[in-house]
Amino acid sequence: MQERGMLIVLSGPSGVGKGTVRQAMLADDFRDFQYSISMTTRKMRPGEVDGVDYYFRTKAEFEAEIANGGMLEYAQYVGNYYGTPLKYVNQTLDAGRDVLLEIEVKGAMQVREKCPDGVFIFLTPPDLSELKHRLTGRGTDSEAVIEKRITQAADEIAMMANYDYAVVNDKVELAVKRIERIIESEHLRVPRVIDRYKTMLKHADGVSSSK
Ligand SMILES: Nc1ncnc2c1ncn2[C@@H]1O[C@H](COP(=O)(O)OP(=O)(O)OP(=O)(O)O)[C@@H](O)[C@H]1O
Ligand SMILES: Nc1nc2c(ncn2[C@@H]2O[C@H](COP(=O)(O)O)[C@@H](O)[C@H]2O)c(=O)[nH]1
């Protein structure tokens, strides 16, 4: 039997740099992990690709997925739905691969309830003015949307207490190393190591009894 992968949840306010850090981790020569592509009802930004950045869906399609039990979690954020399709996460974890979710805090708390053995990491900005600077500099949202995201950010940062780790994204390469160290350490936690041995022993038993 395959050892189950680890679920890693990366949250933090919009614009803190979750996507940037994730891409840097994927580019780094680091332990393999799979990124779970979210579903959203927000409009596609220039350069975004359906099925790569998000699964872009209508509100009716998204609500049908919810009704069908197809979402691990979902939330409304600044007027749109965002959520994690359940099937991909389950299949990938069952195949023994780590899965990274990049989601806002309400969704992360739903995952916490359903998957308490996940690793919950909160990425924080050095301060709110830097967050605004990053959102403005990204150039993807109107002034009004940026204001809504900044207002939301203060409430989101207050939720940090519900996470296992807080990582400051001051410099991308430092944030990446901090998160990689967390993931490495989490793989060495005794319950996970014991699980690994159980899997190995079950496998060895199967091998010897098949002789
Ligand atoms: N450490 C950093 N220092 C300076 N700029 C950064 C840093 N990390 C990310 N950025 C920049 O901040 C902007 C927002 O980053 P990014 O899109 O990765 O944020 P996000 O948290 O994924 O946002 P969202 O949740 O809205 O998808 C980008 O322009 C990115 O280049
Ligand atoms: N609860 C969820 N939140 C998600 C998911 N995918 C992305 N997000 C978060 O939404 C905001 C806005 O994202 P943007 O792409 O419009 O800038 C940001 O905090 C994302 O992390 C999800 O599947 N579930």
Sorting pLDDT into bands at 50, 70 and 90, what band is 211? very low
The pLDDT tens digits of the residues spanning 94-108 come to: 999 999 999 999 999
**Average pLDDT over every residue of 18-23:** 97
Is 19 within any annotated ligand binding site?
yes
Is 36 within any annotated ligand binding site?
no
Out of 106, 124, 134, mutate this one to test ligand 1's pocket (max ligand atoms within 8 Å of CB): namely 134
CATH annotation of 7-35+98-210: 3.40.50.300
**Average pLDDT over every residue of 38-50:** 97
Distance 82 CA to ligand 2 centre (A): 6
Out of 20, 39, 73, 82, mutate this one to test ligand 2's pocket (max ligand atoms within 8 Å of CB): namely 82
Is 118 within any annotated ligand binding site?
no
Alpha carbon of 135 to those of 14, 36, 167, 181, 203: distances in Å? 8, 23, 19, 27, 50
The residue ranges of DSSP E strands in 3-91, in sequence order, are 7-11, 33-35, 39-40, 55-56, 71-77, 80-85
Per DSSP, the three-state class of 195 is helix
Domain ranges of the chain: 7-35+98-210
pLDDT at 1: 61
pLDDT at 171: 98
At CA 70, angle to CA 64 and CA 76, rounded to 5? 65
Closest residue by CA, ligand 2 atom 3: 103
Q: Which residue is associated with the tokens 């399709």?
A: 85
Task: Note whether 21 and 179 are within 8 A (CB).
Answer: yes
* ipTM for this prediction: 0.98
